[in-house]
């Protein structure tokens, strides 16, 4: 009986020692640097004149980044989030946004202009409602860069 009690006591102390010596993995969070992307957005708002015009203020643009691109050593099998950011055009169809980026590899940014409806000029005093469909774009960014990407609508 004493031997069994001694063995149980030794096993209890041993497991206590093993459990206390385990160390939890810690991860250091690093604040990401940002990169600025800007450009002008165009659409054929007036078919009576050649070329395209700058869209007005308020056209929404979506930017998507796979968060895996922001990790130096991605974990195999881990599902990373898609980060989504938005901005709208200002006067003269210009936009600008700051997005996270890194310096150790390219970060792919998908740019999606959101469709909108507006009257298109078809004659001297005639207009028709038209849905403008945005043409998506993709650029690669890296810390320290400044990027320009004009966008168009059909």
Angle among Cα 144, 136, 129 to the nearest 5 degrees reads 135
Give the DSSP letter string of 59-84: -EEEEEEEGGGG-SSPPTTPPPPEEE
In this prediction, residue 31 carries a pLDDT of 80
Structural domains of the chain sorted by starting position, each given as residue range(s) with its CATH number in brackets: 33-152 (2.60.40.1120)
Say whether pTM exceeds 0.85.
no
Please write the tens of the pLDDT for every residue from 104-139. Answer: 999 999 999 999 999 999 999 999 999 999 999 999
Please write the tens of the pLDDT for every residue from 22-43. Answer: 566 566 676 889 999 999 999 9
Please write the tens of the pLDDT for every residue from 60-95. Answer: 999 999 999 999 999 999 999 999 999 999 999 999
The answer to whether the CB of 107 falls within 8 A of the CB of 92 is no
Q: Is the dihedral of CA 99, 137, 153, 55 positive or negative?
A: positive
Which is more confident, 7 or 62?
Answer: 62
Res. 16 pLDDT band, cuts 50 70 90: low
Task: Identify which of 115, 104, 103, 94 has the alpha carbon closest to the alpha carbon of residue 37.
Answer: 94
């Amino acid at each position: 009986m004493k031997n069994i009690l001694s063995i149980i006591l030794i096993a209890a102390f041993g497991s206590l020692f093993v459990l206390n010596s385990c160390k939890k993995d810690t991860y250091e969070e690093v604040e990401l640097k940002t990169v600025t992307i800007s450009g002008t957005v165009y659409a054929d708002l007036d078919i009576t004149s050649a070329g395209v015009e700058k869209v007005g203020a308020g056209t929404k643009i979506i930017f998507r980044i796979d968060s895996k691109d922001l990790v130096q050593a991605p974990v195999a099998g881990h599902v990373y989030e898609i980060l989504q950011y938005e901005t709208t055009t200002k006067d003269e169809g210009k936009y600008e946004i700051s997005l996270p980026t890194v310096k150790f590899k390219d970060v792919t940014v998908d740019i999606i202009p959101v469709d909108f409806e507006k009257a298109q000029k078809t004659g001297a005093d005639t207009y028709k409602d038209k849905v403008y469909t945005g043409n998506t774009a993709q650029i690669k960014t890296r810390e320290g860069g400044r990027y320009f990407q004009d966008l168009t609508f059909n």
